[in-house]
Amino acid sequence: MTVLLRPRAIANVDAAVEGFNLTAAVGVGDASVDFVITPEIEYVAVPVVVGIPFVAPVGALTHITRWEITARSTTSITVTVTFNAAPGGAVATTCQFGCGLVGVPAR
């Protein structure tokens, strides 16, 4: 989904908003997963990533300890999510990342 917005405060500036719902399987013993976000449109500069990853199902024994942007460009953004399973909780699960990109589209 791509939506073009025209802010009221600044004339002649467009912003693009794209939404993504990404899913990755987390295997037993996996320490992290990478989500690669590929924008559908071209941006002037690296867009802002808005969102938060979570482990499903709710109540799973695998917990997210941190997440960070590990690579970024105008054509691809990689987000790495790191896990720390609770004692006895090393089971396969799913990590989901609902996120959006906000930036100035190239013309």
Lowest mean per-residue pLDDT among 6-15, 58-67, 68-77: 6-15
Q: Domain boundaries in the chain?
A: 2-103
Q: Which residues contact 26 (CB under 8 A, 6 or more apart)?
A: 33, 55, 62, 83, 92, 93, 94, 95
Phi first, then psi, for residue 65 (nearest 5°) are: -95, -30
What is the dihedral sign for C-alpha 79, 84, 88, 89?
negative
Task: Name the E strands within 27-61.
Answer: 32-37, 48-56
Level-2 CATH architecture, domain 2-103:
Sandwich (2.60)
Q: Spell out the alpha helix ranges (H) of the chain.
A: none
How many CB atoms within 10 Å of residue 93? 19
- Give percent above pLDDT 90 in the chain: 42
Amino acid identity for residue 40 in this structure:
E
Residues 29-58 have pLDDT tens digits of 788 899 999 999 889 999 999 999 988 776
Give the pLDDT confidence of 8-32 residue by residue, as tens digits.
445 455 788 899 999 998 877 788 8
Question: Starting at the edge strand that comes first in sequence, how are the strands of the sheet with 2-5 ordered?
Answer: 2-5, 15-26, 93-103, 48-56
